[in-house]
Structure 1
Amino acid sequence: MKVLIIGNGGREHALAWKVSKSKIVSDIYLARGNAGTSSFCKNIDIDATDIDSLLEFAIDKKIDLTIVGPEDSLCMGIVDKFKENGLKIFGPDKSCARFEKSKKFTKEFLEKYKIPTAKYKFFTCFDDAKESLKEFSYPLVIKADGLCLGKGVIICQNENEAISTLEDIFIKKIFKEEGSTVIIEEFLKGIEESLLCMVADNKLFPLETCKDHKQIYDGNKGPNTGGVGTYSPNNFSNKTKYNIEKILGKIEYGLSDSGFHYYGILFIGFMIDEDEPKVLEFNVRFGDPETETLMPRLKSDLISLIDKCLNKTLTREDIIWSDDYCLSLILVSDGYPSKYEKNKVISGIERVNNSLVFHNGTKIKDGYILSDGGRVLTICSKAKSLQEARKIAYDDCNRIYFENKYYRTDIGLN
């Protein structure tokens, strides 16, 4: 079986690593892949958004299954195009991808189907948004409506910060057209939870729980990032689990009632306070860095699960997990998520013996592995306890060096 994975980050590296364990897979291609995937996959020089070239490649190579990593490709309609040409592909179509393309679209869906979420208003001009600030208490949350690489959500502690954020989005246009609509919503307190679900024609099959740390600094401070650390499982009370199941049922009903035919992954971000979960956001693809943490715990064959999902024969019993804990620590370039430098030589990866190393932003040049992004490497450890997994990850993190390496020191402590 030939598999094409679209993307070049840690998520795609982790998916490729898991796919490589399948006995029915003969060839794995990554577009574009990275320095880590080049050691066991065939990296191809096609951008994830170059859908026509990806389609041509898939047809030429007789690809049996394509797995889509990045949201951009999904929102551009890669699934629609591949299906039109008779190719098997795992991911939601362009219509369903609107759940990530537009936060406003998702909020209206949640409101229509009475799914718990934060109170909100949306705006298309600076003056109206600024005027509405008096209706909210602080802290509050301001979100750019579109795709912003995980950086379009800003928590504002006071009015000055809120006005400055609105100026950045509406006037300075830091998110370009992705910020043409802005959502202002109440700040939710509690424990954040990431739940990825495989979806077979609107039927949700939850994967294991995962805790994501989005803010760049220790103590959950500083600006949001694409994620700088995760661990799994993130255990909750039976009441919380029951309430999440009720929400999943409402989502399933809403998808069907709206006329969708959703296949792929639905990533649900929750905030949980006193056993009461509320939905923060939807994403329409495997989470990053959640995927790096979940794949080592997944005992089932991923290819088999995807095949059953696409054929609508998947059951919850098919998805089997190890009892171990996994913790992932993200090594980033200092300055991320703002300005940072690339092309730093990375050394010491070969000295890591007790963890998996997934490459987020790397490339090979002149025989050297170089940094090529804000998030550079994911150090993923697995152990019988969270404390043990944490110790292994931090020990192995110190075996790796690149100039201006930065990481949070409190992953797994909160």
Structure 2
Amino acid sequence: MKVAVIGSGGREHALAWKLAQSKTVEKLYAIPGSAAMAEIAECIDIPVSDLEKIAVYCCGEGIDMLVVGPEVPLTEGLADICQAKGLAVFGPNKAAAQMEGSKAFAKDIMKKYHVPTAAYATFTDGEAAKKYIHEQGAPIVVKADGLAAGKGVVVAQTEEEAVEAVNAMMEDHIFGASGGRIVVEECMVGEEASLLAFVDGKTIVPMISAQDHKRIFDNDEGPNTGGMGAYAPAPVMTPELVKEVEEKILRPVVDGLAQEGIVYQGCLYAGLMITADGPKVVEFNCRFGDPETQAVLPLLDGDLAEIMYACTQGTLTKDMVAWKDASACCVIMASAGYPASSHKGDVISGLDALDDTAMVFHSGTAKKDGQYVTNGGRVLGVTAVAPTLKESIDEAYRHVAAIHFDGQQVRSDIGAKGLKHLQ
């Protein structure tokens, strides 16, 4: 079949890389794609924001399935537009994508269907939110309701910090309309992990667990980023915990949405806090995570295109999905100034010298005079697969050491938490 991947980042590069290995894919497109994705797919220069143009192009080209990477086109209804034209879409429709597009919607679904999550309250009035903060005390979490490119969450250590966050979101409008409504919730204590799942509307097949590293510096210090690296599977997520998350979190959400008249098809991503009381939901995403995808997909021992198409048709079965008995580590190389800004145009050297065991997914690069240069905040995701977590970490950093660009930022402790669990 003909498959089009929507997006241009490291997650989409990883999706395209895995789909290109599928025996069922005869032709692969990337919309808009990137210079790196052009090595495995035909790139079509349509912005991800032009939903109608994407749908019309895919119809005209006879594309059998769209795989949507980023959340924004999903929350804006790309799946609905394409499905109305008879196209299969791996990714939830607009109603289902509210699980990421509106934190208040997701919290209300969790409350209604008894899914474990932090206690919360929703506000459209800043003064009422501040009063609630003073009643609850700190630490406390303030979240913009809508999409904010992963930056709409403030974990406030003091009441003053929480009030500042409310003012920034509701009065200064730093996230635009996304901060017109906010969610204030209790600060959960524990270790974070991610569990992604393939969902066909009824059947849920969890992927292997992963752990992302959000802060820019080692030891989880400094400002939050889109993610500085990930590894899979995460030892904190024991088989028993994965089963518990499937039964007490994923299943009630998918079934609950169905009761609301909403069919969820695609990837459902549960961001979890493993607390003393068991796993609780931090957030849901309506798509693959970045950089978790770059660590999870290399371990998939199955035909990704077949699995995804089954999700679009409501024919997913557990036996379609198998995992390699191995570990993967993805280390992000970010540009100077990230996450506050990004430096563009720096020449990237060393890519040609890497051996075949390296998987390098391009998050923010461009080609200039035949050379790759930096073109974003997160530049590369360098992934290695090995029999053990320790070996996959060592291999990933061995590859990172061979790559260079001016001002590069790399955390040196990706996977360290996982190694502690194993000890």
TM-score of the superposition, structure 1-length normalised? 0.96
One-letter amino acid matched to 2:241: T
Q: Which amino acid in 2 is paired with 1:115?
A: V
Q: Is the 8 A contact 1:363 1:370 kept in 2?
A: yes
Q: CA separation in 1, counterparts of 2:254 and 2:392? A: 35
Q: Give the 5 Å matches for 1:10-25.
A: 10-25=10-25
Mapped partners of 2:11, 2:67: distance in 1: 11
> Which whole-Å deviations, capped at 9, do the CAs of 1:150-188 have from their partners, x for residues lacking one?
111111111232222222212222111111111111111
What TM-score do the two structures reach when normalised by structure 2?
Answer: 0.94
Corresponding residue of 2:149: 149
* 8 Å Cα contact 1:153-1:224 kept in structure 2: no
CA contact (8 A) 1:213 1:411 kept: yes
Offset at residue 371 of structure 1 (A): 1.4
> Does the 8 A contact of 1:137 with 1:186 survive in 2?
no
Tell me the distance in 1 between the aligned counterparts of 2:268 and 2:238. 23
CA distance in 1, matches of 2:405, 2:34: 17
In the TM superposition, structure 1's runs of 4+ consecutive aligned residues that sit over 4 Å from their partners are none
Residue type of the partner of 2:293? T
Instruction: Give 1:297's aligned residue.
Output: 299
Question: How many angstroms apart in 1 are the aligned matches of 2:346 and 2:125?
Answer: 41
Cα distance 1:239–1:137, how it changes in 2: closer, same or farther (>3 A)?
farther
CA-CA distance at 1:375 after TM superposition: 0.9
The residue that corresponds to 2:420 in the other structure is: none
- Partner amino acid, structure 2, of 1:51: L
Give distance in 2, aligned partners of 1:83 and 1:238: 36
Name the amino acid aligned to 1:8.
Answer: S
Alpha-carbon deviation of 1:221?
A: 2.1
The equivalences for 1:2-401 within 5 A come to: 2-235=2-235, 236-247=237-248, 248-274=250-276, 276-353=278-355, 354-401=357-404
Distance apart, 1:289 and its partner CA = 0.9
Q: State the distance in 2 between where 1:374 and 1:141 align.
A: 26
* TM-aligned CA deviation for residue 224 of structure 1: 2.0
The code of the aligned residue for 2:326 comes to D
Return the letter of the residue paired with 1:20.
A
Paired residues of 2:201 and 2:265 also in contact (CA < 8 A): yes
Give deviations 1:242-299, integer Å, cap 9, x for gaps. Answer: 4213213322331222111111111111111236010111111111111111111001
- Within 1, Cα distance between the matches of 2:247 and 2:121? 25
Which of 383, 408, 413 is 1:410 aligned to? 413
Offset at 1:203? 2.8
Deviation digits for residues 104-141 of structure 1, max 9, x if unmatched? 00000101111110011122233222222112232221
- Structure 1 residue 301 displacement after superposition: 0.4
Distance 1:311 1:75 in 2: 21
Three-state SS of the structure 1 residue aligned to 2:169 is helix
CA offsets, 1:163-221, max 9 Å, x none?
A: 22222212222111111111111111111111111111243211111111112221112
**Count of residues in correspondence between the two structures:** 414
Question: What residue ranges of structure 2 are gaps of 5+ in the alignment?
Answer: 418-423
Which is further off, 317-326 or 33-42?
33-42
State the alpha-carbon separation in 1 of the partners of residues 203 and 257 from structure 2: 9
Asked whether the equivalents of residues 137 and 159 of structure 2 are also in contact (C-alpha less than 8 Å), the reply is no
Alpha carbons of structure 1 residues 136 and 351: separation in structure 2 relative to 1, 3 Å:
farther
- Which stretch has the larger CA shift, 87-96 or 240-249? 240-249
Aligned to 2:421: none
Aligned equivalents of 1:249, 1:201: Cα separation in 2: 11
349-358 or 100-109, which moves further after superposition?
349-358
CA contact under 8 A between 2:91 and 2:266: conserved in structure 1?
Answer: yes
Q: Which amino acid aligns with 1:364?
A: K
The answer as to whether partners of 1:332 and 1:375 remain within 8 angstroms in 2 is: yes
- Tell which deviates more after alignment, 223-232 or 129-138: 129-138
Give CA-to-partner distance per residue, 1:40-86, whole Å, 9 cap, x none. Answer: 21111111111121112112211111111111111111111111111
Q: Tell me, what secondary structure is at the counterpart of 1:162?
A: helix
Query: Does the aligned pair in 2 maintain the 1:240–1:275 contact within 8 Å?
Result: no
The secondary structure found in structure 1 opposite 2:253 is: helix
Cα distance in 2 for residues equivalent to 1:239 and 1:289: 25
| Aligned CA distance change for structure 1 residues 171 and 241 (closer, same or farther; 3 Å) | same
Q: Answer whether contact 1:237 1:275 (CA < 8 A) is retained.
A: no
- 5+ residue gaps, structure 1, are none
**Pairwise CA RMSD:** 1.5
**CA shift for structure 1 position 362:** 1.2
Deviation at 1:239, TM superposition (A): 4.3
Q: What SS does structure 2 have at the residue aligned with 1:270? A: strand
Cα offset for 1:307?
A: 2.0
% identical equivalent positions = 40
Structure 1 residues 241 and 6: alpha-carbon distance in aligned structure 2, compared to 1, 3 A threshold = closer
